[in-house]
């Protein structure tokens, strides 16, 4: 099936239950068992079924099945937020004494999580140069458990050479994890390029209207076989004492998501509410249409900015002048580059004045909303980074980031034009 069709139909049979066209919201904490044997079988994984909404929920099940298919994976697991998804992805493979290798261009929350918070759990993050991956190999050792990067990074809007990262990850048998939030499942599918795990903050383009927080992880086919023999990830192939000696690789269910569900969701519990799953299901239905329009609008705005004297630099990889233009053409559907773009003006003061003068753009630290948003990364999303970290992350104090919405681009351009004149 093609993506538009998957996003509308996968994972839900409207002939079951009451035949509702809308996926029902199963708003429940727990589920009644038929009898004590049924309960025992569910806990022993002899039979699969819902036990408690912290672990699974029928509404969330639909979103997981739909997303897994959309990204070309075999399983998915929803979490309360994108941040929770990333924490689980790392905690699922690394423990104290291990390290992970991360891109130098990441979302601010991912930088603080991976370089500061996870360090308190004894996991070290080593940073690779994403522009050419030149130091990536030299950072990998026996204790490296993951390579993490964003396909299209927020807010730098850089595209990683996914083929190069994947070939190095495969050479060393290290899992690759790709945050595909900004590129979206519509423009890019990391698994089709050999990535092992895909992550999304579904709060952004999946939702599409800024109405719910959520996260998801998607696993590629074949990881169970990989874990069976991999010397790096023995906790998948040796007994889990917290689950009466369960060996994950003995269970014929996608192991990466299974272990998160049975241990991390069970114990840490950042699970998604059924209502948010339902909102995200509504959003996913129109993802294809929206991402096309976000991308087309952003390109028009980027071309306008490029022609304006007050603009020093426009960062949008669908522009021919952009350093990652070839990568956008190679990896992204029709060379489109989603709705995120940034530009530099002459100074911090000028950036502030423009942000305070626009009327259609809302000053919001979010992306992927149907309404256009404007932010100043240095003083907001990236304000917890020190000056060296800011420079390393490519954030200039005169950079303005736009998340282009679904308005008519003529109105957006007129609004920016007016702000430039003031
Ligand atoms: C927003 C965002 C996150 C974090 O997701 P939340 O749902 O806000 O927790 C992670 N990665 C990227 C690229 C994001 O834009």
Q: Which CATH number fits domain 3-282: 3.40.50.1220, 3.40.640.10, 3.40.50.300, 3.40.50.1970?
A: 3.40.640.10
Given this model, what pLDDT does residue 393 score? 67
The residues that bridge with 386 in the sheet, in sequence order, are: none
Please, which residues have CB within 8 angstroms of residue 349's CB and are 6 or more apart in sequence? Answer: none
Q: Look at the block and give the residue holding tokens 């997303």.
A: 67
- Domain 288-421: top CATH class: alpha beta
Ligand 1 atom closest to 153 (CA): 13
Q: Look up the pTM and report it.
A: 0.96
Find out whether the beta carbon of 216 lies less than 6 Å from any atom of ligand 1: no
Find out whether the beta carbon of 210 lies less than 6 Å from any atom of ligand 1: no
Query: Looking at residue 381, what DSSP letter applies?
Result: T
Helix (H) / strand (E) containing 289: helix 287-306
Ligand 1 atom closest to 181 (CA): 13
Find out whether the beta carbon of 367 lies less than 6 Å from any atom of ligand 1: yes
In 3-state terms, what secondary structure has residue 363? Answer: strand
Separation of CA 32 from chain center:
34
- 86-111 burial string, b = 16+ CB within 10 Å, else e? bbbbbbbbbeeebbbbbbbbbbbbbb
The residues that bridge with 218 in the sheet, in sequence order, are: 76, 198
Query: What residues in the chain have per-residue pLDDT under 70?
Result: 393
Q: Look at the block and give the residue holding tokens 């800024």.
A: 210
Given this model, what pLDDT does residue 111 score? 94
Find out whether the beta carbon of 179 lies less than 6 Å from any atom of ligand 1: yes
Residue range(s) in the chain whose domain bears CATH number 3.90.1150.10: 288-421
Given this model, what pLDDT does residue 251 score? 95
Backbone torsions φ then ψ of 313, nearest 5 degrees: -160, 135
Find out whether the beta carbon of 369 lies less than 6 Å from any atom of ligand 1: no
Q: Which two tokens stand for residue 300?
A: 């028009």
Given this model, what pLDDT does residue 333 score? 98
Given this model, what pLDDT does residue 387 score? 77
Work out the percent of the chain whose per-residue pLDDT is above 90.
Answer: 91
Q: For the chain, what is the mean pLDDT?
A: 96
CA of 82 to the centre of ligand 1 (A): 5
Please, which residues have CB within 8 angstroms of residue 232's CB and are 6 or more apart in sequence? Answer: 142, 144, 145, 173, 174
Separation of CA 125 from chain center:
19
Given this model, what pLDDT does residue 319 score? 98
Q: Which two tokens stand for residue 139?
A: 């950072």
Q: Which two tokens stand for residue 69?
A: 């298919």
């Amino acid at each position: 099936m093609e993506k538009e069709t998957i996003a509308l139909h996968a994972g839900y049979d409207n002939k079951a239950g009451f035949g509702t066209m809308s996926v029902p919201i199963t708003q429940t904490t727990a589920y009644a068992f038929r009898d004590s044997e049924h309960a025992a079988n569910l806990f022993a994984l002899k039979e699969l079924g819902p036990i408690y909404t912290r672990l699974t929920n029928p509404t969330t099940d639909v979103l997981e099945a739909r997303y897994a298919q959309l990204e070309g994976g075999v399983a998915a697991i929803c979490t309360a937020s994108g941040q929770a998804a990333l924490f689980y992805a790392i905690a699922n493979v690394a423990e104290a004494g291990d390290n992970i290798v991360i891109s130098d261009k990441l979302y601010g929350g991912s930088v603080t999580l991976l370089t500061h918070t996870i360090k308190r759990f004894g996991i070290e993050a080593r940073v690779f140069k994403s522009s050419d991956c030149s130091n990536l190999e030299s950072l990998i050792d026996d204790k490296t458990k993951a390579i993490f990067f964003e396909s299209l990074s927020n807010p730098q809007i850089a595209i990683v050479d996914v083929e190069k990262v994947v070939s190095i990850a495969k050479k060393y048998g290290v899992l690759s994890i790709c945050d595909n939030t900004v590129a979206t499942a519509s423009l890019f599918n990391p698994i089709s390029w050999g990535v092992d795990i895909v992550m999304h903050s579904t709060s952004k383009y999946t939702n599409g209207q800024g109405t719910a927080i959520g996260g998801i992880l998607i696993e590629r086919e074949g990881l169970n076989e990989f874990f069976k023999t991999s010397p790096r990830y023995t906790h998948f192939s040796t007994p889990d004492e917290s689950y009466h000696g369960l060996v994950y690789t003995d269970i014929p269910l996608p192991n990466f998501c299974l272990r998160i569900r049975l241990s991390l969701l069970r114990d840490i519990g950042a699970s998604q509410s059924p209502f948010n799953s339902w909102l995200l299901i509504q959003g996913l239905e129109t993802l294809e249409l929206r991402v096309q329009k976000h991308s087309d609008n952003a390109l028009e705005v980027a071309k306008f900015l490029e022609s304006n004297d007050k603009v020093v630099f426009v960062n949008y990889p669908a522009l021919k002048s952009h350093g990652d233009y070839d990568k956008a053409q190679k990896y992204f559907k029709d060379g489109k580059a989603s709705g995120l773009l940034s530009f530099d003006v002459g100074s911090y003061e000028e950036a502030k004045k423009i942000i305070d003068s626009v009327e259609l753009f809302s000053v919001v630290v979010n992306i992927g909303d149907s309404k256009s948003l404007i932010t100043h990364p240095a003083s907001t999303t990236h304000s917890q980074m020190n000056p060296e970290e800011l420079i390393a992350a490519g954030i200039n104090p005169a950079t303005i980031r736009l998340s282009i919405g679904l308005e008519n681009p003529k109105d957006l351009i007129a609004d920016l034009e007016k702000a430039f004149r003031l």
